[in-house]
């Protein structure tokens, strides 16, 4: 095949890579993107979007099922619902197809050339791609590595048969009777909760002392309570030993006893690792930071003209971080002066209730040497939360004690994911408690909780 050359080559069309390529194309940079699978990467195909589709279907089913069994205080009566999971999965696949073809369209509209196939570095200026039509050699001036991440497996529980990753869980056509989730991070809990809501008997096994180990216990407490209400058994401080003799799982419980857990499916969600194999990292010999590619504040690697973005560069492994990096790198390649100066990368757990974190928790702020003021507003006191039948959770605001500049905002509650932009905007704008307190928040909304938390931190709360 004829060689092609370009100014910018992007490897991987996940949220990091496709955002970078679209922006570069918009800026008139001659750009090629290579993708081995489908545009959209983990996020659109097997991550953020399909998981939230499943969670939505499960929430709808659970709500109707609760009403059917007499759980409604609203005077609504319905018959017992039934779920055809294969139809829900087909609906989810339709959303994925629409979004991934949308990404292809956006790339084309930005005049980005898309090459389908597996890319491999020959050297710091050349990549070869195994395409269906043969080997395509691409020469470039600058390159962005956006190869993403993959699930970590456990050597004694390799993926296959009943042992599935999040990808396998999102493809199930039938609801497993029993499901053991290994790892109580956000992916395991999001999916475990969804399956419990559609009828699986779910057990979560976590080696650490509490669920969502990266979050403080105050934030995770409402989620732990709800898991109990949903009938999900949570075994913390427990270690998986291996598959049980009967197809289930053998674990060492926190008290040291060995237990066998029945499981039609075992979902292993113990983390994700950067995707650094099989594309010729050894040909370009980049400096690493642990398992990740080391980058600076412009996403430059240790080799001139080679950038890296997204999950392959480290935590937090989140789609919006990848996209923000991608946009920045495109502008740098186009000659703009840009550097990473974001105050906050918010994170959302789409558990039940949802958790949002932005900036520092009270504990993190203290560790960073700050004297802090903390305000917390419980949704029990929120009229809007009551009308939604969900008074669990709270909003918490953390500010410097001396000048009241916000350091962090966190929330846990049904629907708080949509408040994440307010949290980030306040932090990014360098807001003080007084700025939030003097902003009129619409009534009745959950967002009033941000106002009330700020007022509480200023020791002048109104509604609590
Ligand atoms: C179940 C699940 C739920 C998630 N939920 C959320 C969420 O709610 N919010 C959130 O922010 N994040 C979420 N994530 C994480 C999110 O999906 C990732 O952070 C994000 O996709 C990373 O983007 P990326 O561009 O770095 O890489 P990826 O999305 O992993 O894309 C990398 C792409 O590169 C391609 N590629 C790799 N190597 C080559 C090669 N040599 N040649 C050609 N192509 C190659 C891959 O095929 C892939 O398409 C979730 C992940 C999972 C698994």
Share of the chain above pLDDT 90, in %: 97
447: domain CATH number?
A: 3.30.390.30
Q: Is residue 71 predicted with pLDDT exceeding 80?
A: no
Q: What is the mean pLDDT of residues 255-259?
A: 95
Burial string for 178-192 (b: 16+ CB within 10 Å, else e) reads bbbbbbbbbbbbbbb
**Is the domain of 218 the same as that of 258?**
yes
Sole residue written with tokens 């558990």: 351
Identify whether 255 is part of a domain.
yes
pLDDT digit string (tens) for 361-380? 999 999 999 999 999 999 99
Q: Whose CA is nearest to atom 6 of ligand 1?
A: 48
Three-state DSSP class for residue 186: helix
Distance from the alpha carbon of residue 43 to the mean position of ligand 1, in angstroms: 5
Contact 6, 138 (CB under 8 A): yes
Distance from the alpha carbon of residue 339 to the mean position of ligand 1, in angstroms: 23
**Is the domain of 262 the same as that of 353?**
no
**Is the domain of 251 the same as that of 393?**
no
Name the residue among 4, 12, 88 with its Cα closest to residue 323. Answer: 12
Identify whether 70 is part of a domain.
no
pLDDT digit string (tens) for 265-274? 999 999 999 9
Question: Last residue of some domain: 270, 297, 312?
Answer: 270
So what's the pLDDT on residue 47? Answer: 98
Question: Model's pTM, two decimal places?
Answer: 0.97
Give the structural domain span for 201: 163-270
Domain count, the chain: 3
So what's the pLDDT on residue 433? Answer: 98
Q: Whose CA is nearest to atom 48 of ligand 1?
A: 41
Mean pLDDT of all residues belonging to the chain: 97
Instruction: Name the band, by pLDDT with cuts 50, 70 and 90, for residue 244.
Output: confident
Tell me which residues have their CB closer than 6 angstroms to ligand 1: 11-17, 34-37, 41-43, 46-48, 51, 118-119, 146-149, 166, 187, 275, 279, 310-311, 317-320, 322, 350
pLDDT digit string (tens) for 97-128? 999 999 999 999 999 999 999 999 999 999 99
Contact 187, 169 (CB under 8 A): no
pLDDT digit string (tens) for 134-167? 999 999 999 999 999 999 999 999 999 999 999 9
Distance from the alpha carbon of residue 157 to the mean position of ligand 1, in angstroms: 23
**Is the domain of 125 the same as that of 206?**
no
Please give the structure tokens belonging to residue 197.
């809501």
Give the catalytic positions in this structure.
443
Q: Where are the alpha helices (DSSP H) in 334-370?
A: 362-367
Q: Whose CA is nearest to atom 26 of ligand 1?
A: 310
Q: Is residue 50 predicted with pLDDT exceeding 90?
A: yes
Sole residue written with tokens 């570069």: 24
So what's the pLDDT on residue 59? Answer: 98
Q: Whose CA is nearest to atom 5 of ligand 1?
A: 48
Q: Is residue 72 predicted with pLDDT exceeding 90?
A: no
Q: Is residue 405 predicted with pLDDT exceeding 80?
A: yes
Share of the chain above pLDDT 70, in %: 100
- 3 CB contacts (<8 Å, ≥6 apart)? 136, 137, 138, 139
Question: Last residue of some domain: 227, 248, 270?
Answer: 270
So what's the pLDDT on residue 245? Answer: 76
So what's the pLDDT on residue 390? Answer: 95
pLDDT digit string (tens) for 26-44? 999 999 999 999 999 999 9
Q: Which of 11, 35, 41 for mutating ligand 1's site (highest number of atoms within 8 Å of CB)?
A: 41
305: domain CATH number?
A: 3.50.50.60
Distance, CA of 214 to chain centre: 13
Distance from the alpha carbon of residue 146 to the mean position of ligand 1, in angstroms: 9
Distance, CA of 347 to chain centre: 7
Name the residue among 6, 16, 44, 32 with its Cα closest to residue 119. Answer: 32
């Amino acid at each position: 095949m004829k060689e092609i050359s370009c100014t910018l080559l992007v490897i991987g069309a996940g949220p990091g890579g496709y955002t970078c390529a679209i922006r570069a194309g918009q800026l008139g940079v001659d750009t090629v993107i290579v993708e081995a699978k489908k545009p959209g990467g983990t996020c659109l195909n097997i991550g953020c979007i399909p998981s939230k589709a499943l969670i939505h279907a499960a929430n709808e089913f659970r709500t109707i099922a609760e009403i059917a069994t007499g759980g409604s205080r609203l005077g609504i009566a319905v018959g017992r619902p039934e779920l055809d999971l294969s139809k829900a999965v087909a609906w989810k696949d339709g959303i994925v197809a629409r979004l991934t073809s949308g990404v292809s369209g956006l790339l084309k509209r930005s005049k980005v050339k898309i090459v389908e196939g597996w890319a491999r570095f020959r050297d710091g200026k050349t990549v070869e791609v195994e395409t269906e039509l043969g080997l395509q050699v691409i020469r470039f001036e600058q390159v962005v590595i956006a190869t993403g991440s993959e699930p970590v497996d456990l050597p004694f529980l390799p993926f296959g048969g009943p042992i599935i990753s999040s990808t396998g869980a999102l493809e199930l056509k039938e609801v497993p009777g029993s499901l053991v989730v290994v790892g109580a991070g956000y992916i395991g809990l999001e999916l475990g909760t969804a399956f419990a809501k559609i009828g699986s008997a779910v057990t979560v096994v976590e080696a650490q002392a509490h669920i969502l180990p990266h979050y403080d216990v105050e934030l995770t407490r409402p989620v732990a309570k709800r898991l109990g209400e949903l009938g999900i058994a949570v075994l913390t401080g427990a270690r998986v030993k291996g598959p049980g003799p009967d197809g289930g799982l053998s674990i060492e419980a926190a008290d040291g006893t060995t237990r066998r857990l029945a499981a039609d499916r075992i979902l292993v969600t113990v983390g994700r690792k950067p995707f650094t194999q099989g594309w010729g990292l050894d040909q370009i010999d980049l400096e690493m930071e642990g398992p990740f590619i080391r980058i600076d504040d412009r996403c430059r690697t240790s080799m001139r003209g080679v950038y890296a973005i997204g999950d392959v560069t480290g935590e937090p492994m989140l789609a919006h971080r990848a996209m923000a990096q991608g946009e920045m790198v495109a502008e740098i390649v186009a000659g703009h002066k840009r550097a990473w100066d974001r105050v906050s990368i918010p994170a959302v757990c789409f558990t039940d209730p949802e958790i949002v974190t932005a900036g520092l928790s009270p504990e993190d702020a203290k560790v960073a040497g700050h004297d802090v003021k903390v305000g917390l507003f419980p949704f029990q006191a929120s009229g809007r939360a009551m009308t939604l039948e969900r008074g669990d959770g709270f909003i918490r605001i953390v500010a410097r004690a001396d000048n009241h500049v916000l350091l962090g905002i966190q929330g846990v509650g049904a629907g708080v994911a949509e408040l994440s932009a307010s949290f980030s905007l306040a932090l990014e704008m360098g807001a003080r408690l007084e700025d939030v307190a003097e902003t009129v928040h619409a009534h009745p909304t959950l967002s009033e909780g941000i106002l009330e938390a700020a007022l509480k931190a200023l020791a002048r709360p109104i509604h609590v």
